Chain A
């Protein structure tokens, strides 16, 4: 099973709202990732968790706050977002290192009004 699940599938939020994106995998992977993808562009890495510890933060604004409650779950907390943050947010996981093959979830389509 190489499935990564993400909820919700779609999300519309105002600039003053607080919302969370959720990601789950049951492959026993120990590295998990958040990516942001704008239309017709490749995914851009935001955060990497390795063994439940934040190992990479690609200078992401603080209005995005990641959390890894356990080895199977990854959250992305959103607060005071801007319209330009509207994008497809992808979660991925890999065995245990950044260079291992990453398996992606279906993504959450976010629209900020």
Chain B
């Protein structure tokens, strides 16, 4: 089963832009790419979802290249409260299952 991989951890300072990538080589043709934020001992919280090109909402942007084999979550001007684990969620074309990425632990410093 192909894994959906993310960097294990990232560090940033308040006010900086953070870009977190997710590699999903076996993404299902018709599936969206969804990103979630999770704080310790809480459920994942929906951030953004997209199918191709670029999507932007009030908290983040999502960049998806034409081949859709990866995606990048962009968080503009992070704050201390953005310290959390970030997961991508995509469908796998071989198993037809939704698979969470391995997760990226973002630490924001003052």
Is B109 positioned at the interface, with any CB of A under 8 Å from its CB? Answer: no
Partner of B42, one of A98, A99, A106: A106
Q: Report whether B49 and A107 are in contact in the complex, using a CB–CB cutoff of 8 Å.
A: no
Partner of B43, one of A42, A101, A105: A105
Interface string of A1-29 (1 = CB under 8 A from B): 01010100000000000000000000000
Contact-residue size bin, chain B (C-beta under 8 Å from the other chain): 20 to 34
Query: Would A90 and B98 be within 8 Å (CB), given that A42-B87, A99-B32 are in contact?
Result: no
Q: Report whether A4 and B101 are in contact in the complex, using a CB–CB cutoff of 8 Å.
A: no
Q: Report whether A43 and B41 are in contact in the complex, using a CB–CB cutoff of 8 Å.
A: no
Query: Would A101 and B49 be within 8 Å (CB), given that A42-B103, A45-B97, A45-B98 are in contact?
Result: yes
Q: Which chain B positions have C-beta within 8 A of A103? A: 46
CA distance A98 to B28 in the complex (A): 13
Q: Report whether A88 and B101 are in contact in the complex, using a CB–CB cutoff of 8 Å.
A: no
Residue of B nearest to A44 (CB): B100
Is B71 positioned at the interface, with any CB of A under 8 Å from its CB? Answer: no
Q: Report whether B100 and A42 are in contact in the complex, using a CB–CB cutoff of 8 Å.
A: yes
Interface string of A89-111 (1 = CB under 8 A from B): 01110000011011111110100
Q: Which chain B positions have C-beta within 8 A of A104? A: 36, 43-45
Q: List A residues at the B interface (Cβ < 8 Å).
A: 2, 4, 6, 40-45, 88, 90-92, 98-99, 101-107, 109
Q: Could you jot down 10 A-B contacts, CB within 8 Å?
A: A6-B43, A42-B100, A98-B98, A99-B32, A101-B49, A102-B34, A104-B44, A104-B45, A107-B43, A109-B41
Q: List B residues at the A interface (Cβ < 8 Å).
A: 30-32, 34, 36, 41-46, 49, 87, 89, 91, 97-98, 100-103
- 7 shortest A-B CB distances, which residue pairs? A104-B43, A42-B100, A104-B44, A106-B43, A107-B43, A90-B43, A105-B43
